[in-house]
């Protein structure tokens, strides 16, 4: 085998081509924390909107970034980072450099956080999305996280939310919907809004919790019968993926920098 055949393909892997640009890397970093609108991304990266839109277009074409029309303002859209896709491309990038880098081993000797992390999930009705998110996070990290949920206009717990959680081995039938006002004065480390509308009216909480927004459609808008159930399964699957990454982020040991 000749050296030319070994190094025939010298193109960088897809992830490096997409993320190697400084503006696109900054966009990825911002979207890894929260779903954001183009105007917010423009302000955070300090570049003109046409330049940001161009780079977002490149990231969308590469399958790293997705968009969803805002339910609060249908003229606007939220951008969302597909972390699963990023993970797949990063693994492929490592393998392209050396087979031993296909999957990095977990660092040894890491300890869990000793302090409980407090998280509040908020949506409009607290009947489905935020209840599902609370249940998934509690199930994933109940010994390290104290999760709660509430809504700006609470409605009864949706029966399909109870049903879909059974698929994950979680029973939320005893949960009740709560108003955001019940948590006035409570301290949280993170406040995660799941509804574009409630993001605009979410109250402030003591000690300045980190705000995060996940733009997720309301499955309850599809109704209460069997026909709406696929929407609940999609939302639960989306939240399950997001909660998995979020749990790792908030319970990992703090590191310098």
User: Active-site residue numbers?
Assistant: 123, 195, 202
Total residues belonging to the chain: 257
Buried b / exposed e across 18-53, counting CB within 10 Å, b at 16+? bbeeebbebbbebbeebbbbbeebbebbebeeeebe
Residue 144 has φ and ψ, to the nearest 5°, of: -125, -15
3-state secondary structure the chain: CCHHHHCCCCCCCHHHHHHCCHHHHHHHHHHCCCCECHHHHHHHHCCCHHHHHHHHHHHHHCCCEEEEECCCCCCCEEEEECHHHHHHHHHHHHHHHCHHHCCCCCCCCCCCCCCCEEEEEEECCCCCHHHHHHHHHHHHHCCCEEEEEEECCCCCCCHHHHHHHHCCCCCCCCCCCCEHHHHCCCCCCEEEECCHHHHHHCCCCCCCCEEEECCCCCHHHHCCCHHHHHHHHHHHHHHHHHHHHHHHHHHCCCCCC
CA angle 245, 38, 209 (to 5 degrees): 50
The first and second tokens of residue 110, run together, are 């890491």
């Amino acid at each position: 085998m000749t050296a030319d055949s070994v190094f025939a393909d010298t193109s960088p892997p897809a992830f490096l081509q997409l993320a190697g640009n400084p503006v696109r890397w900054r966009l990825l970093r911002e979207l890894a924390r929260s779903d954001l609108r183009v105007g917010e991304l423009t302000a955070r990266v300090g570049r003109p909107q046409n330049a940001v839109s161009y780079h977002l277009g490149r990231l969308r074409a590469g399958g790293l970034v997705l968009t969803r029309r805002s339910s609060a303002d249908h003229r606007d859209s939220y951008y969302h980072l597909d972390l699963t896709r990023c993970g797949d491309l990063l693994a492929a990038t490592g393998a392209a450099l050396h087979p031993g880098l296909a999957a990095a081993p977990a660092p040894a000797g890491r300890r869990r956080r000793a302090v409980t992390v407090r998280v509040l999930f908020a949506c409009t009705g607290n009947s489905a999305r935020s209840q599902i998110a609370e249940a998934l996070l509690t199930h994933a990290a109940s010994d390290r996280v104290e999760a709660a949920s509430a809504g700006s206009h609470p409605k009864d717990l949706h029966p399909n939310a109870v049903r879909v959680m059974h698929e994950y081995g979680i029973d939320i039938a005893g949960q009740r919907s709560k108003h955001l006002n019940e948590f006035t004065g409570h301290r949280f480390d993170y406040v995660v809004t799941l509804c574009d509308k409630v993001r605009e009216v979410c109250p402030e909480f003591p000690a300045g919790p980190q705000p995060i927004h996940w733009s997720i459609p309301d499955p309850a808008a599809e109704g209460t019968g069997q026909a709406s159930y696929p929407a609940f399964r999609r939302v639960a699957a989306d939240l399950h993926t997001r909660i998995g990454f979020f749990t790792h982020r908030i319970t990992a040991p703090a590191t310098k920098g």
